[in-house]
Amino acid sequence: MLGHNICIQQPCFIDGEQHLILGDNIHIGRHTEIMADGGVTIGNNVVISYHCVLWSIDHRYEGDSLPYDKARIRRPIVIHDNVWLGRNVIVRGGVTIGEGAVVAMGSVVSRDVPPLAVVGGNPARVLKFRDAGRYAQNMAEGRSLWREDGVCGACQAPGFFLLDAPVSHRTLARHIWGSLVTRWRLFVWRYFSDRDFRLRSSRNS
């Protein structure tokens, strides 16, 4: 299932297109590989940079042959709206990336990412969270990279400009406080995610 305003730069490898669901306003960079046989869903306003890998199946290594047998295990991937994957990001099967999340280049995402989280590393971990107030304001005012129908906001739209990286003047106390806030938000997200999972499991049993 395909939305509109989808830009897939070539060359790009996509297998299992019948299991790939794309929303509106999506950019997929060159040399990205998507194995969709296990199910891949990508929301609206999503940028996936060059050389990324989304792999939604796995081999069974505890089967009837070595190093693995011919069974393929489905592990669906879900990427919610307004997500940005940097260059060379690998997303393993079974992962959900929450709305508005940012994944730093070179990261390996092997577990779920909370909404508005900025993650990086191998395995990817939460570094901080985006400004929720600014995010909500941009959403309310409809501010998006995609301004024109049929024009990719990530690679075709004009108006990009350069800025110097901001210099951090945070004191040690503010740095510690920021780290504690990030850990608290992550703890709350995991707690409620685990609780919802337990409730769904008890209802299904």
pLDDT recorded at residue 159? 78
Give domain limits for the chain.
6-158, 170-205
Supply the DSSP string of 44-104, one letter for each residue.
SSEEE-TT-EEE-EEE-TTSSSSS--S-EEE--EEE-TT-EE-TT-EE-TT-EE-TT-EE-
pLDDT at 205 over 90: no
- Which two three-digit tokens encode residue 82? 């307004």
pLDDT recorded at residue 197? 47
More confident residue, 159 or 31: 31
With cut-offs at 50, 70 and 90, classify the pLDDT of residue 3. Answer: confident
Neighbours of 116 (CB within 10 A): 20
More confident residue, 133 or 173: 133
What tens digit of pLDDT does each residue of 65-115 get?
A: 999 999 999 999 999 999 999 999 999 999 999 999 999 999 999 999 999
More confident residue, 92 or 195: 92
More confident residue, 93 or 155: 93
The CATH architecture annotation of domain 6-158 reads: 3 Solenoid (2.160)
